[in-house]
Amino acid sequence: MSENTKKVALITGSSRGIGAATAILLAKQGYDICINYKNNSKAADKVLEQARIYNTRCISIQADVSIETEVINLFRQIDQQLGPITSLVNNAGMLLPQSKLEDMDAERINRILTTNVTSYFLCCREAVKRMSKSKGGLGGAIVSVSSVASRTGSPGEYIDYAASKGAIDTLTKGLSVEVAADGIRVNCVRPGFIKTDMHTDGGEPDRIERIKGLIPMKRGGEATEVATSIAWLLSDEASYVTGSFTDIAGGR
């Protein structure tokens, strides 16, 4: 992709946390951006307002990216309003209250896998269709947000979530090879204990305070610290980086 090509980025699940921080940073760096949200339009509007300070084209689109028809419609709207996508950040995901496997039912497991895995596959598919040089695209970059839980397994708390992130690691490795010759780079960041609302979703808002002593750097991370790594992996500075995993976990 030419350095002069206007970059158009979709950040899924970007009404809060890591997604919001990434959307604002990419806008600051001159990207045209699409903020995607599932339910919270007010939060998405706040991110949109912050992003537009940087005088770039910014839109906000509601879509449940685990549903195929909504993903197709999302990408069509981006085509119409911003032009062909060049950068995808797969960030949408969910966490359910802490539980051991013996207490998990199929409904919970399938909900986690559909939200955290199917959505990434669908968004990657639509992005690849548009970015692939063999299909007339200009190339591009994809960064997926996984988790250090994919390495640790998160026993006794979130092994369903951890397994979903293990799937994302595998998707990253396989897809990076599959589309490399088409000018598409695919990389992954694996955040650790980041200060976001997701811990509240898991039923323990102060989780980082409880476990920070186990982190070598003795603190939780900030969403902006993850966003910075995502932005670098999307940038031309990372032009020879694909199939890589960046752990952002304070040494954990």
CATH number of 8-246: 3.40.50.720
Q: How confident is the model at residue 44 (pLDDT cuts 50, 70, 90)?
A: very high
pLDDT of residue 197: 65
Are 16 and 201 in contact by the 8 Å Cβ rule? The answer is no
Separation between Cα atoms, residue 144 and residue 159, nearest integer Å? 19
pLDDT of residue 195: 79
- Average pLDDT of the residues in 110-126: 98
Phi, psi angles (nearest 5°) of residue 160: -70, -45
2 has a pLDDT exceeding 60: no
Per-residue pLDDT tens digits for 9-22: 999 999 999 999 99
Q: What is the pTM of this model?
A: 0.94
pLDDT of residue 61: 98
251 has a pLDDT exceeding 90: no
Task: Indicate the domain borders of the chain.
Answer: 8-246
For the chain, the average pLDDT equals 93
Lowest mean pLDDT among 25-34, 118-127, 194-203: 194-203
Instruction: Give Cβ neighbours of residue 166 (< 8 Å, ≥ 6 apart).
Output: 150
Separation between Cα atoms, residue 160 and residue 114, nearest integer Å? 11
Instruction: Give Cβ neighbours of residue 49 (< 8 Å, ≥ 6 apart).
Output: none
Instruction: Give Cβ neighbours of residue 85 (< 8 Å, ≥ 6 apart).
Output: 8, 9, 10, 75, 78, 79, 127, 130, 131, 140
pLDDT of residue 184: 98
Please indicate whether residue 31 is annotated as part of the active site: no
Separation between Cα atoms, residue 79 and residue 131, nearest integer Å? 12
The 3-state secondary structure of 89-114, one letter per residue: EECCCCCCCCCCHHHCCHHHHHHHHH
Residue 33 corresponds to which tokens in the numbers above? Answer: 């951006």
3 has a pLDDT exceeding 70: no
Selecting among 31, 37, 158, 161, the annotated active-site residue is 161
Per-residue pLDDT tens digits for 186-214: 999 999 888 776 545 555 667 777 777 77
Instruction: Give Cβ neighbours of residue 1 (< 8 Å, ≥ 6 apart).
Output: 86, 138, 139, 140, 183, 236
Rounded to the nearest angstrom, the gap between the alpha carbon of residue 228 and the centroid of all alpha carbons in its chain is 13
% pLDDT > 70, the chain: 95
pLDDT of residue 106: 98
Per-residue pLDDT tens digits for 159-192: 999 999 999 999 999 999 999 999 999 999 999 8
Q: Is the dihedral of CA 84, 248, 50, 53 positive or negative?
A: negative
Separation between Cα atoms, residue 221 and residue 224, nearest integer Å? 8
139 has a pLDDT exceeding 90: yes
